Structure 1
C-alpha cells in the first residue's frame, strides 16, 4: 500500500493498494445505503460475524447506523473501487471522549493492508479532533484484527466477564512541545 495520501476533496483520499489498484476513501453519505447494503450482504459469514457479531442477515437499522450520526464528532468512511464499496470504517465518540471504532473489509480485499490503513486514518482523525483515545471490542478468535491493532500500539485485554471478546484501546494524548522539553535529557 502506498504511504502517501492524495487528497481529492475535503474528506476524500486516493490510496494505491498493492502498488497497482487505486481506491477512494471518503466520508459515507446518506446515498450510500444501497451500496453499503450490497457490501455487507456480500461479506462472508465469518466477516459479518467478526464485524457485526452475527453471521446471518444484518438488519437495515444496522446498515443505517453504519453511516454514522454525522453530528460533527462521529466518523463513517467508505472505501470504493469505482462504484463498489470494498471497506467501511466508523467511530462513534463516547462519553469518555474516546472514539469507539469498527472496521470491515470485503473478503476479496483482505490481506492488502486496507484494514490497517483505515485504522491508522481513524487514529489521525481522532487525534485531530482532540479525542483522548480509541477503543473497540474484537472477538478473541479474530486473530488477524488483534495482530493489526497490537502492531499499531493498541493494548488488549479480555473483556471482564466475556472470554470471547478482547477490549482494545489506544491513548491518543497529544504530546505538546512543553511536555517534550520537560522530559528532554538536555534539560537535566
Structure 2
C-alpha cells in the first residue's frame, strides 16, 4: 500500500505531504484537533466541541481500509509530522457510494489543500469503482461550497436539518475512466 499520495510546497515554501492516516498519528491528530477554532469545529462537526478525547480521536484514525479511505496532510517541524488537514470517505449502503468529509486547520485554509485532498478522495473512490460521493456542508460554509462546485458537485436538499446542504458528485465508471486516461490524461489531476 503506497503511503504517500502527494508532496508539494506552499506558496511560502512550507513542504507538505499527503499520506494515508496511521494509528500512531493519534496523539498529533488530537493536538491538532484541539487547536482548531470554534468555527472550524462547527464547519466540520456541525456542533461546538470543547475538547477531543482520546476515544474520539481513536474513532477518527482507526478505520477499516476496505470501507474507508483516510488521508492526512502533514508538515514537518523539528523532526515531527504535524497534521494540518485531513479528508476521508466511508463507503455507504450497498458499497456503490460514499460520504466524505474534509477538515483544514485554520492557518492552512484557502491555500488549495482542500482541493488536493478532495481530488485525492475522488480518485480513490473512482478507482474502487464507487459511483457517487456526497457530503453534508453547512449552508454558510461558502469556501467548501465553492470548492465543491468547482469540482462538479451538485447541491441538493439535505436530510441533516435546516442550514445543511448535501453536495453530490457522480463518479466516472471504470470504462469511462480508462478511455479518459488514454485520451486526455488522468482525471482529477
Regarding TM over 0.5, the answer is: yes
In 2, Cα distance between equivalents of 1:175 and 1:36: 34
Q: How does 1:5-16 map to 2 (within 5 A)?
A: 10-12=2-4, 13-16=6-9
> Among residues 65, 70, 74, which one is paired with 2:68 in the alignment?
74
In 1, Cα distance between equivalents of 2:12 and 2:126: 28
Q: How far apart are 1:95 and its partner, in Å? A: 1.1
Q: How far apart are 1:141 and its partner, in Å? A: 1.1
Q: How far apart are 1:21 and its partner, in Å? A: 2.2
Question: Residues 37 and 161 (structure 1 numbering): CA distance in 2 closer, same or farther, change over 3 Å?
Answer: closer
Show the counterpart of 2:131. Answer: 132
Which structure 2 segments of 5+ residues have no match?
A: 180-189
Aligned length: 170
The question of whether the paired residues in 2 share the 8 Å contact of 1:68 and 1:92 is answered with no
Q: What is the TM-score when the length of structure 1 is the normalising length?
A: 0.83
Aligned residue for 2:162, secondary structure, equals strand
Show the counterpart of 1:28. Answer: 21
In 1, Cα distance between equivalents of 2:48 and 2:125: 29
Q: CA RMSD in A?
A: 1.9
Show the counterpart of 2:98. Answer: 99
Question: Residues 108 and 65 (structure 1 numbering): CA distance in 2 closer, same or farther, change over 3 Å?
Answer: same
